């Protein structure tokens, strides 16, 4: 946790920038690097009845950390993908409720 789901981004583009991205995200969130999950989701985009070029966007599932941290994370993700050659990317955050997230049978509200 946090989990980043990359759409329209290939593993070949993400892997070379993943180390610097994780370093920056860990720093701004005060979270261990190995607590992050980076997932490239293979997607087929459709427009007007035909396959369309992929549009890169990133879903970030996490426990809310406030505007400043969210802004810093969005900037880090955008910069990393820009460094990989993707000049336009969208990032959105989905805040999870600690009472609805479980690890080893215990919800995170107890942590």
- Reported as a single tens digit per residue, the pLDDT across 42-75 is 989 999 999 999 999 999 999 999 999 999 999 9
Per-residue pLDDT tens digits for 13-39: 999 999 999 999 999 999 999 999 999
Helix axes 67-83 and 11-29, enclosed angle (nearest 10):
150
CA distance 39 to 33: 14
Phi, psi of 41 (to 5 degrees): -100, 120
pLDDT at 10 over 90: yes
pTM exceeds 0.85 = yes
Question: Hey, is 4 helix, strand or coil?
Answer: strand
What is the rounded CA–CA span in Å between residue 38 and residue 108? 21
């Amino acid at each position: 946790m946090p989990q980043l789901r990359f759409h329209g981004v290939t593993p070949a583009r993400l892997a070379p920038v993943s180390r610097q991205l994780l370093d920056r995200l860990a720093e701004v969130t005060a979270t261990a690097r190995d607590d992050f999950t980076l997932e490239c989701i293979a997607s087929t985009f459709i427009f007007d009845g035909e396959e369309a070029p992929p549009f890169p966007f990133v879903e970030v599932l996490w426990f809310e950390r406030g505007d400043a941290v969210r802004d810093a994370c969005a900037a880090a993700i955008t910069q990393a993908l820009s460094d990989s050659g993707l000049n336009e990317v969208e990032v959105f955050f989905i805040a999870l409720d600690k009472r609805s997230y479980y690890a080893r049978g215990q919800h995170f509200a107890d942590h």
